[in-house]
Structure 1
């Protein structure tokens, strides 16, 4: 158990990256979003590009906060499930 905790502590375990790497649909959507954003950006004036970049910053910050909330909730839920499993008297088995 110590190894996984150390890996997590040192930042070697990153659930956000792992979910994106293993899901083909997410990878394809990210590519499509990037291409469309680039096309949109290239068609804008300098002022519009600056506004789009500020919008992107806000969206990225929001998604980061959402991912943190989901991760925290899921981690606590996993802990509660593990605790319930360990405290189960085994009468049903």
Structure 2
């Protein structure tokens, strides 16, 4: 347990860099996205393509924020479950 805490303290713990979706369609989906982006790069003017990239960057930022919130919510739920299991208390009755 000390290793995890030490890595957390030094900022070396980055779970988002270890995520590899198990869904078999994930790689295929990313290939389709790359193919479409390449197609748009060829079809659009440089200015239009820049606007498309800005939109995609904004979507990426939004997705990242949502993922961070989901991670936090899941971690908090897991911690509450551990408290309930090991502490024998019912958090719902205590107002969470």
Whether the TM-score (by the shorter chain) exceeds 0.5 is yes
Residue 81 of structure 1 aligns to a residue whose secondary structure is helix
Q: Is the 8 A contact 1:41 1:49 kept in 2?
A: yes
User: Which stretches in structure 1 are left out of the alignment for 5+ residues?
Assistant: none
Match of 1:39 in 2: 39
State the Cα deviation string for residues 42-87 of structure 1 (Å, max 9, x = none). 2111121111011011111101111110011011011001001111
| Structure 2: distance between partners of 1:5 and 1:24 | 33
1:9: Cα distance to partner?
A: 4.2
| Structure 2: distance between partners of 1:21 and 1:36 | 21
Q: Which has the higher contact order (CA 8 A, sep 6+)?
A: 1
Superposition map of 1:1-93 within 5 A: 1-20=1-20, 22-88=22-88
* Large movers: runs of 4+ above 2 Å: 5-25
Task: Give the TM-score normalised by the residue count of structure 2.
Answer: 0.75
| Structure 1: distance between partners of 2:13 and 2:29 | 23
* Higher helix residue share: 1
Q: Is the 8 A contact 1:20 1:27 kept in 2?
A: no
Q: Which deviates more from structure 2 when the two are superposed, residues 23-32 or residues 40-49?
A: 23-32
Q: How many residue pairs align between the two structures?
A: 89
Residue 20 of structure 1 aligns to a residue whose secondary structure is coil
